[in-house]
Structure 1
Amino acid sequence: MAKRHAATIAARAGIAEDTAFGAVTPPIYLTSTYELEAFRQPGPYDYSRSNNPTRDVLGEALAELEGGAKAIVTNTGMSACLLALQLLKPEDTLVFPHDCYGGSYRLFINLAQRKHAFKIQIVNFQDTDWAEQVRLAAPAMIWLETPSNPLLQITDIQAVCQLAAELAAKVVVDNTFLSPVLQQPLALGADIVVHSTTKYINGHSDIIGGALIAKDVAIGDELKWWGNCLGLTGGALDAYLTLRGLRTLSPRIRLQQENTLAVVDFLAAHPLVAKVYYPGLASHPGHAIAKVQQSGFGAMCSFELNAAPEYLYDFFAALKYFTLAQSLGGTESLVCHPATMTHASMDAAAQQRAGIGATLVRLSVGIEDIADLITDLDKALQQVAKRLSV
């Protein structure tokens, strides 16, 4: 069979595959346990922590989308991160970026310092000498997040993977911000891809979930064993809802990207916006690499308010269609303040190193009418202007 396109894989996930009654939409298996055929004759399913048909359909679709050998569907995005880290031993070193997601940063730091699960080295992959920094660390695993959260900095995945091959290190890429529709790290040389399926893959802000896709069958099998052992696997209902969301992944992201381009153009021209962070801008430092390794620039953008931090109260209060909330990737537009929300677990020094300032605002652009979104942002910035003029 010819390789299927991403939109087809997502839209057809589990469709017309029911062998019991010919249901077009796959059934949901809300069962904790399964009957054995006979004594000492277990079937493919015995307990849903280990295997569940609904979860398997989702995993198979995600593996095909990412071009991987095996996917493990987890109960949260952080569980997916934790699962990947089971490949490390106490004497191993994990290299991770200075500007990664705050929850990932907290996990890495505390597992290393409080549990001595592995050693760590933080690297700024935007530095010209990043490769030398990585070589000196002699890592067993390199963790990448590109575009980064929340400044959307771009890391050259292929270049890192080439170096990792020399060092016999595994590369894990958090692909949450783009989804497999816009970026496929395994094809660029990565060993494992991590997702918070809560975000774009589900796309409706009604489940918490994660996934981990391995390029190699043996690594996938080991991670599946750990997922079952630690109880990190996701539930059937969450898998069912994620499958439902997955089917519209391509058209959702297409519209969200169109809206984001318009939002970015508006923000870039506004006097109360000091700086816009978006890889689609030609002025973005990672624009050229993003054009090569991505098939789109995504629907996330950030900007610096050109006013003192106290004016953020007025800005957020005036918004109607950008909801102030954690998370991203849903059909609804969201706005957040990384310093006090998504990256609050970073101390002040770590935030400063990552470039997360007090006036940084992050937008997750949804599928609302773009005229309403622009008007919403314009009115909020007008409110700040009014306060400034008093």
Structure 2
Amino acid sequence: RVLRDYGLQFDFVEMSNLDEVRAAIKPHTRLVWVETPTNPLLKIADLAAIAEIAHRVGAQLAVDNTFASPYLQQPIGLGADFVIRSTTKYLGGHSDVVGGAILTHDTAAYEQLKFLQNAVGAVPGPMDCFLTLRGVKTLPLRMERHSANAQKIAEFLADHPGVKQVLYPGLSDHPNYAVARKQMRLPGGMISFLPVGDAATARRIAERTQLFALAESLGGVESLIELPAPMTHASVAGSPLEIDPALIRLSVGIENVDDLIEDLRQALRNE
């Protein structure tokens, strides 16, 4: 609704399907934008392959790397021209920062972006910068713990009779498991799952948790649970991007994993 007024054209593509990406690329395509892992379905796009497809027609590749963080995935090393991330999430890591970042190895593009940032005014405050730099110091330790906890929780959910489907790239039955193994150091701290039941079931589960706080956002040291359809993704209801109303998303924190599993176990009881 905004950028189309500037004469820009867009095609929305299933980026985990390389055939669809190839079919959508046109001679005049100038930018390919991809998020991997995706929010909230945890799909994985093959960044090296997409970079090759994009560069073949002179297009640039921009990657939203928020879910992975630079510790788990480094898109520029896989051929990306730009990396975008929310510093609010894993980089800050303590749910007390609002910010974002763009990275590139293209000096000319950097100078242009730096000018636009200064001219338009998208400049973070000094306290946000301080808190983000503080968070970066512990990023590797936190991402290791987020991922280790999420792996155990995903395995618990996959074996639970009250769970219909688990979406986590660290599980071998994930459709993009091989790609995730190839380009990510670890599968990360985000999990989505579908309980046996409907949207009302999902809401009851989310309201029962005691350690998982019912809240939006993600990537902090504390564990969060949310329902994407009525919360973070309510704006895409009725569109091709609509989310199953029963889907539950977890941002797994760094607490004791046995406590987190027990919290989910009691929330799933009788469902």
Give the secondary-structure state (helix, strand or coil) at the position aligned to 2:191.
strand
Decide whether aligned partners of structure 1 residues 194 and 128 sit closer, same or farther in structure 2, where only a CA change above 3 A counts: closer
Decide whether aligned partners of structure 1 residues 116 and 153 sit closer, same or farther in structure 2, where only a CA change above 3 A counts: same
1:193-245 residue CA offsets vs partner (Å, 9 max, x unmatched): 00100000000000101000011111111110111111012111100011111
The answer (yes or no) to whether the contact 2:93–2:221 under 8 Å persists in 1 is yes
Give the secondary-structure state (helix, strand or coil) at the position aligned to 2:29.
coil
The residue aligned with 1:155 is: 45
Q: CA deviation at 1:280?
A: 0.8
Residue identity opposite 1:363 in structure 2: L
Does residue 320 in structure 1 map to residue 210 in structure 2? yes
The answer (yes or no) to whether the contact 2:66–2:89 under 8 Å persists in 1 is yes
1:140-168 residue CA offsets vs partner (Å, 9 max, x unmatched): 10001011111110101011111111111
Decide whether aligned partners of structure 1 residues 128 and 163 sit closer, same or farther in structure 2, where only a CA change above 3 A counts: closer
The residue aligned with 2:238 is: 348
Q: CA deviation at 1:348?
A: 1.6
The answer (yes or no) to whether the contact 1:111–1:117 under 8 Å persists in 2 is no
Q: CA deviation at 1:135?
A: 2.1
- State which of 244, 248, 272 in structure 1 corresponds to 2:162: 272
1:280-319 pair list within 5 angstroms: 280-319=170-209
The answer (yes or no) to whether the contact 1:112–1:120 under 8 Å persists in 2 is no
> Which range moved further: 326-335 or 229-238?
229-238
The residue aligned with 1:4 is: none
Residue identity opposite 2:58 in structure 1: A
1:104-253 pair list within 5 angstroms: 110-113=1-4, 115-116=5-6, 118-127=8-17, 129-136=19-26, 138-253=28-143
Q: CA deviation at 1:347?
A: 3.1
Q: CA deviation at 1:260?
A: 0.6
Give the secondary-structure state (helix, strand or coil) at the position aligned to 1:158.
helix
Question: How far apart, in 1, do the equivalents of 2:204 and 2:122 lie?
Answer: 41
Q: CA deviation at 1:128?
A: 5.2
Greater radius of gyration (CA): 1
Give the secondary-structure state (helix, strand or coil) at the position aligned to 2:11.
strand
Q: CA deviation at 1:137?
A: 7.2
The residue aligned with 1:377 is: 264
Residue identity opposite 2:258 in structure 1: A
Between the two proteins, the alignment pairs up a number of residues equal to 271
> Which range moved further: 149-158 or 117-126?
117-126
Give the secondary-structure state (helix, strand or coil) at the position aligned to 2:91.
coil
The answer (yes or no) to whether the contact 2:191–2:250 under 8 Å persists in 1 is yes
Residue identity opposite 2:6 in structure 1: H
Give the secondary-structure state (helix, strand or coil) at the position aligned to 2:50.
helix
Give the secondary-structure state (helix, strand or coil) at the position aligned to 1:256.
helix
The answer (yes or no) to whether the contact 2:219–2:251 under 8 Å persists in 1 is yes
Give the secondary-structure state (helix, strand or coil) at the position aligned to 1:195.
strand
The residue aligned with 1:36 is: none
The answer (yes or no) to whether the contact 2:203–2:227 under 8 Å persists in 1 is no
Give the secondary-structure state (helix, strand or coil) at the position aligned to 1:200.
helix
Question: How far apart, in 1, do the equivalents of 2:188 and 2:13 lie?
Answer: 24
Give the secondary-structure state (helix, strand or coil) at the position aligned to 2:160.
coil
Question: How far apart, in 1, do the equivalents of 2:59 and 2:246 lie?
Answer: 37
Decide whether aligned partners of structure 1 residues 343 and 117 sit closer, same or farther in structure 2, where only a CA change above 3 A counts: farther
- State which of 260, 263, 268 in structure 1 corresponds to 2:150: 260
The residue aligned with 1:61 is: none
Question: How far apart, in 1, do the equivalents of 2:20 and 2:208 lie?
Answer: 42
Give the secondary-structure state (helix, strand or coil) at the position aligned to 1:259.
helix
1:247-271 residue CA offsets vs partner (Å, 9 max, x unmatched): 1101011111111111001100011
Query: Which sections of structure 1, spanning at least 5 residues, go unmatched?
Result: 1-109, 386-390
Decide whether aligned partners of structure 1 residues 351 and 135 sit closer, same or farther in structure 2, where only a CA change above 3 A counts: closer
> Which range moved further: 192-201 or 333-342?
333-342
Residue identity opposite 1:368 in structure 2: E
What is the percentage of aligned positions where both structures have the same residue? 42
- For CA contacts below 8 A with separation 6 or more, give which structure has more relative contact order: 1
The answer (yes or no) to whether the contact 1:351–1:357 under 8 Å persists in 2 is no
The normalised TM-score by structure 1 is 0.67
Query: Which sections of structure 2, spanning at least 5 residues, go unmatched?
Result: none
Decide whether aligned partners of structure 1 residues 325 and 294 sit closer, same or farther in structure 2, where only a CA change above 3 A counts: same
Question: How far apart, in 2, do the equivalents of 1:158 and 1:126 lie?
Answer: 12
Does residue 359 in structure 1 map to residue 249 in structure 2? no
Question: How far apart, in 1, do the equivalents of 2:234 and 2:28 lie?
Answer: 30
